[in-house]
């Protein structure tokens, strides 16, 4: 275990140089009975990082990889929006504007800088976040970028700001979250591809579903991907 990350008030922080995956460690911690609300597992690098749909998350040294464990009495699809807004708010606190690609990929200049993986385990939810800071991987499916291209930020400072913004936005009224998400969302009122068809991206509703317009009819999307 490495040192150098501050211990935020109310957070139990476990920091490692390199582990298989912060997300996997969080699952194991919960399974062993060692988890508690507001635990953060941080790694300088991962050798088996993963994203949504079990895609590989390339995890070299120099970036922020963290999984937060929070109490979760029920599953809430709206959580993804609060997390995305928290990341955007965190980057903005360092002077960097970003956008959200549904549901919670974070882009700068159309290039991915951060991703989120939310998984439930027992009475907890694990919020995994990766932010490219010093390096960015070469990925066939999309362009990537890193925070160092825009501003120099210490990983400790980035983690502190992220943890505080998660607390802020996870407690916020969803109408405020929705407003901020819509303000940062990319592709609104434009044509996107959904299940092989072109549809108009309208926004998200109060329940957290993505709303698109197809042939004059509104369609609610839960979890499926869209392509821009």
Please indicate, yes or no, if residue 22 is contained in any of the structural domains: yes
- Whether pLDDT at 3 is above 70: no
**SS3 state of residue 193:** strand
- Whether pLDDT at 2 is above 50: no
Terminal Cα-to-Cα distance of the chain (whole angstroms): 41
- Note whether 85 and 177 are within 8 A (CB): yes
The pLDDT tens digits for 147-160 are: 999 999 999 899 99
Residue 5: pLDDT band (50, 70, 90) is very low
Residues 121 and 28 placed together within one structural domain of the fold: yes
Mean pLDDT, rounded, of the chain? 89
Please tell me the total count of domains within the chain.
2
The pLDDT tens digits for 51-85 are: 554 555 556 688 999 999 999 989 998 999 999 99
- In sequence order, which residues have a C-beta less than 8 Å from that of residue 225 and are 6 or more positions away? none
Residues 126 and 76 placed together within one structural domain of the fold: yes
Please indicate, yes or no, if residue 211 is contained in any of the structural domains: yes
CATH at residue 48: 3.30.930.10
Q: Where is pLDDT greater, at 9 or 139? A: 139
The pLDDT tens digits for 94-128 are: 999 999 998 779 999 999 999 999 999 999 999 99
Nearest alpha carbon to residue 12 among 36, 48, 28: 36
Residues 208 and 121 placed together within one structural domain of the fold: no
CA distance 132 to 61: 10
- Whether pLDDT at 164 is above 90: yes
| Claim: this prediction has a pTM higher than 0.85 | yes
- Whether pLDDT at 4 is above 50: no
Task: Please give the DSSP secondary-structure letter assigned to residue 185.
Answer: B
pLDDT value of position 29: 96
Please indicate, yes or no, if residue 228 is contained in any of the structural domains: no
Nearest alpha carbon to residue 107 among 86, 88, 128, 79: 88
pLDDT value of position 53: 44
Domain with 134 in it: 12-184
CA distance 112 to 186: 12
Beta partners for residue 131, in sequence order = 64, 114
pLDDT (average), residues 4-10: 57
Residues 94 and 34 placed together within one structural domain of the fold: yes
Please indicate, yes or no, if residue 198 is contained in any of the structural domains: yes
């Amino acid at each position: 275990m490495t040192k150098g990350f501050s211990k935020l008030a109310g957070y139990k922080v476990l920091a490692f140089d390199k582990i298989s995956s912060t997300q996997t460690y969080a699952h194991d911690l919960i399974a062993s009975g060692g988890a508690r609300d507001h635990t953060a597992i941080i790694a300088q690098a991962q050798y088996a990082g993963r994203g949504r749909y079990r895609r590989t998350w390339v995890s070299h040294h120099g970036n922020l990889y963290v999984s937060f464990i929070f109490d979760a009495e029920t599953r809430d699809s709206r959580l993804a929006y609060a997390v995305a807004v928290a990341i955007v708010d965190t980057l903005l606190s360092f002077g960097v504007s970003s956008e959200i690609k549904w549901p919670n990929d974070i882009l700068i200049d159309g290039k991915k800088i951060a991703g989120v993986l939310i998984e439930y385990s027992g009475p907890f939810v694990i919020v995994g976040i990766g932010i490219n800071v010093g390096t960015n991987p070469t990925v066939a499916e999309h362009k990537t970028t890193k925070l160092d291209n825009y501003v120099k930020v210490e990983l400790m400072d980035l983690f502190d700001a992220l943890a505080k913004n998660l607390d802020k936005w996870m407690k916020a009224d969803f109408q405020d979250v929705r407003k901020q998400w819509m303000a940062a969302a990319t592709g609104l009122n434009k044509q996107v591809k959904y299940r092989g068809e072109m549809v108009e991206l309208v926004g998200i509703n109060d329940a957290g579903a993505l709303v698109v317009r197809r042939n004059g009819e509104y369609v609610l999307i839960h979890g499926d991907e869209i392509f821009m």
